[in-house]
Amino acid sequence: MAEFDYDLFVIGGGSGGVRAARVSAAHGAKVALAEEHKVGGTCVIRGCVPKKLLVYGAHFAEDLADARRFGWDVPDCRFDWPTLRDNVLAEVDRLNQAYTTTLNNNDVEIILERATVSGPNSVRLASGREVTARYILIATGAWPARPDVPGVEHAITSNEVFHLEKLPKRVLIAGGGYIANEFAGIFHELGADVTIVNRTDVILRGYDESIRDRLLQISMTKGIKFQFNSRFSSIEKTDEGLRVTFDSCEPIDVDLVLFATGREPHTKGLGLEEAGVTLDAKGAVVVDEDSKSSVDSIYAVGDVTNRVQLTPVAIREGQAFADTVFGNKPWRVDYHCIPSAVFSHPPLAGVGLTESQAKQKYGAVRVYSSDFRPMKNVLANRNERALYKMICHAETDQILGLHMIGPDSAEILQAAAVAVKAGLNKKAFDDTVALHPSMAEELVLLR
């Protein structure tokens, strides 16, 4: 009789868990995966994918307006939220099914229940059943954080935002990070009056200063309002909607409050500490470079470890775990030069060090930039400038960071990130002939 019921039990069917389960099974392991909500996890069900589809849907507002300058007779258009919402949710259902099929095809047993850890080699399911496994992988992701404010129950988070009955006319978004700026763009493009309220005076901490200043300036010009250094006092229901009060500013009346104030590792009530797993002050599973926790049989990947909360990182960690533990091909995730983007209007993207990080690390650096109005914006009479910035080592000219804001910047940066990751210098860009006319050609013409 086998010593354990499974070689691997994965808790959480999101980006990291699904990849780890599928690849471990392909390496020959007997694998089960428990998921308490829907297979696919945050990215597929209530994150990257539905968000990006809403970004596309929202951007038609600008495209339709610009089209008139390109000769199209665009009649007055009406936007129908239920149509976009339901089409997006149908696509999410399709992907949920596709992920489920992939796991089934790889002989991963899917258990649609909440699971908790009951020992170094045992898992308890919500139904009461207890199973054993040689290894347990914690891939439970993160959960929206909500400050302790009276009336916070009247607010929603990104978990609920994809299911709204109707489009709100006035929206207040708490936070100044990824989700706040992406949803400010979505709601604004779809016609809502949007206010971002942040507790500091900085948006998108971690991105290059000039790039985030440009987003702030463009967003404000478009009509998105920003209220900085504000702390919430209360959220109350009124006859017309919600009244939000602050410690030092005037109250704001809105129809919807969205909290986008960070995501906390999803470890509450998971039984980890009882099993001997060390968690940090934020509740994240503390892991080594192989994603192994303080208990030899328990590993963790993805947002629950609070390393880098991005889908491609969770997927890589899941793949490295499976190859290392079951595939006899050990390797470790390299966290150097991870590209990232914010899908605002326009989007921004970056890889490597910001100008201030590079100056702190190397002292003097060389900064090359291009501040230009994309050709399409000129004809459209859209007074929105793009900004590309390359940060280079003062002596070797090696590229330390590349940052951009403008149309399609996420698409352009993904390709350029290969060069930055490969350690190329500015000359390699200068030596490359421009592809004309494009926005990306600015990258090889930087001064």
Residues of this chain that interact with ligand NAD (CB under 6 A) are 147, 174-180, 182, 197-200, 260-263, 309-310, 340-343
Closer to ligand NAD by CB, 207 or 388: give it: 207
φ, ψ at 409 (rounded to 5°): -60, -30
**Helix (H) or strand (E) run with residue 246 in it:** strand 242-246
Residue 159 CB, shortest distance to ligand NAD, in Å, is 11
Q: Identify which of residues 48 and 95 has a Cβ nearer to ligand FAD in the complex.
A: 48
Q: How far is the CB of 284 from ligand NAD (least distance, A)?
A: 13
Cα torsion 195, 201, 207, 213: sign: positive
Burial call 415-446: b when 16+ CB within 10 Å, e when fewer: ebbebbbeebebeebeeeeeeeeebbebbbeb
- CA 200/CA 181 separation, integer angstroms: 14
Q: Is 350 in the site for ligand FAD (CB under 6 A)?
A: no
Query: Could you tell me how far CA 98 lies from the centroid of its own chain?
Result: 21
Identified binder of ligand FAD from the candidate list 30, 51, 59, 134, rule CB under 6 A: 51
Contact segment (CB under 6 A) with ligand FAD among 75-83, 133-141, 165-173, 395-403 equals 133-141
Does position 406 bind ligand FAD by CB under 6 A?
no
Is residue 185 involved in binding ligand FAD (CB under 6 A)? no
> Could you list the active site residues?
436
Give the number of other CB atoms < 10 A from CB of residue 381: 10
Q: Single out the residue of 10, 58, 171, 179 in contact with ligand FAD (rule: CB under 6 A).
A: 179
Q: How far from 230 is each of 46, 193, 250, CA to CA, in Å?
A: 28, 19, 10
Closest by Cα among 118, 134, 98 to 22: 98
Rounded least distance, CB 240 to ligand FAD, Å: 28
Q: Does 37 bind ligand FAD (CB under 6 A)?
A: yes
DSSP 433: P
Q: Which CB atom, from 7 or from 317, has the smaller least distance to ligand NAD?
A: 317
SS3 content of the chain, % helix, strand, coil (to 5): 35, 25, 40
Partner in contact with 199, chosen from ligand FAD, ligand NAD, none, beta carbon below 5 to 8 Å by kind: ligand NAD
Q: Choosing among ligand FAD, ligand NAD, none, which partner's interface includes residue 407 (Cβ < 5 to 8 Å by kind)?
A: none
Binding mask 251-280 toward ligand FAD (x if CB under 6 A, else -) reads ---------------x---x----------
**Phi/psi-derived region of residue 381, left when phi > 0, alpha when psi is between -120 and 50, beta in every other case:** left
Q: Which residue, 11 or 443, is less far from ligand FAD as judged by CB?
A: 11
Judged by beta carbon, residue 168 or residue 175, the one nearer ligand NAD is 175
